[in-house]
Structure 1
Amino acid sequence: MNLRIGHGVDVHTFTDGDHVTLGGVRIPHTHGFKAHSDGDVLIHALCDALLGALALGDIGHHFPDTDPAYKGIDSRILLRRVMEELRSRGFRVVNADMTVLAEAPRLAPHVDAMRAVLAGDMGVGLDRVNIKATTNEGMGYVGRREGILAYATVLVSQGAAGEGA
């Protein structure tokens, strides 16, 4: 069995708006994300982790913000494309563990919905997807409520039968 670990990070600052999209879930908020796509930092970090596990670069390489085709795109589409790359190479997701740092909005009420969306898009069971939300205790740009930061770590495998194959 070929096991690989990938790690991803993404951050977006806030701009005018009435919601943020995290993990494919629209969450009411006093601001939106400043981004070329929908700005879903959680999915972007997850895509980077998946691509990193296969040594395929990063999300910016595959979906550049200089390409008008990705302007305003739903990040779930990008995740599904990354999953196609993963599967085409015979890999499957063993598990994904993610952390979102945000002072606001409050994310705990949305975590189960985000897990369900991401598990569905990756074609894995809910028991393989974990999301944690925390604040930055008022420190730095996250603490000043200037944006949101997300981390993702994944384990993928090749050559083993099972869920997500």
Structure 2
Amino acid sequence: MKIKTGIGFDAHRFAAGRELYVGGIKIDSPYGLDGHSDADVLIHAIIDALAGPALGRDIGNLFPDNDIKYKNIDSKVLLADAVKLIKDAGWTISNVDAQIIAQKPKMAPHIPAMRKVLAEIIEIPEEDMTIKATTTEKMGFTGRGEGVASIAVATLIK
């Protein structure tokens, strides 16, 4: 048996005129996140945490931001595609633990829905998909309310 652990990080700035998606959930907000896809920072961090140890690649290699087919794509689709590649490579996803870093909007009320959606896509029990939310106490770009960041860790077994 082989066990690997991966880590992923993503950050996006807020942008007017976009909807806000985090963890596959649409969050009511006057601003969204700027990016080529829907800019879901949590899913992007999770993809990196999974794809790194399993495939030796990151989200930018798997789904390049200069490819028009990924323009405004739902990141849940990217996650499902990444999970398929990982499983095809012979890996089982054991668990994912993630953190959302945002001063605003408040993420905690949305975490149960995020866990449900992401666990289903990743094909793991909900108890193995953990998400926490924190602020940076008004420090840095997230603390100033300029955007959102996320970090994720995943364990895979072969």
In structure 2, the CA distance between the partners of 1:34 and 1:83, relative to structure 1 (3 Å rule), is: same
Structure 2 counterpart SS, 1:54: helix
Distance in structure 2 (CA, Å) of the matches to 1:9 and 1:104: 19
Structure 2 counterpart SS, 1:61: helix
- In structure 1, the partner of 2:41 is 41
Note the 1:105-124 alignment, pairs <5 A: 105-124=105-124
- 1:17 deviates by 3.3
- In structure 1, the partner of 2:154 is 154
Distance in structure 2 (CA, Å) of the matches to 1:143 and 1:19: 20
- In structure 1, the partner of 2:75 is 75
Tell me the percent identity.
41
- In structure 2, the partner of 1:125 is 125
Question: Could you list the runs of 4 or more consecutive aligned residues of structure 1 that deviate by over 6 angstroms after TM superposition?
Answer: none
- In structure 2, the partner of 1:84 is 84
- In structure 2, the partner of 1:135 is 135
- In structure 1, the partner of 2:16 is 16
- In structure 2, the partner of 1:54 is 54
Mind listing any 5+ residue stretches in structure 1 that lack a counterpart? 159-165
Post-superposition Cα deviations, 1:107-128, rounded to whole Å, max 9, x if no partner, equal 1110000000000000110011
The count of corresponding residues between Structure 1 and Structure 2 is 158
8 A contact 1:119–1:129 mirrored in 2 = yes
Post-superposition Cα deviations, 1:13-50, rounded to whole Å, max 9, x if no partner, equal 00103641011000011211111000000000000010
> Which letter maps to 2:53?
A
TM-score by length of 2: 0.97
- 1:103 deviates by 0.5
Mind listing any 5+ residue stretches in structure 2 that lack a counterpart? none
8 A contact 1:108–1:133 mirrored in 2 = yes
Distance in structure 2 (CA, Å) of the matches to 1:76 and 1:134: 23
Distance in structure 1 (CA, Å) of the matches to 2:43 and 2:17: 19
CA RMSD of aligned residues (A): 0.9
- In structure 2, the partner of 1:144 is 144
Distance in structure 1 (CA, Å) of the matches to 2:126 and 2:101: 22
- 1:11 deviates by 0.3
Post-superposition Cα deviations, 1:109-157, rounded to whole Å, max 9, x if no partner, equal 1000000000000011001100000001000101111100000000010
Structure 2 counterpart SS, 1:76: helix
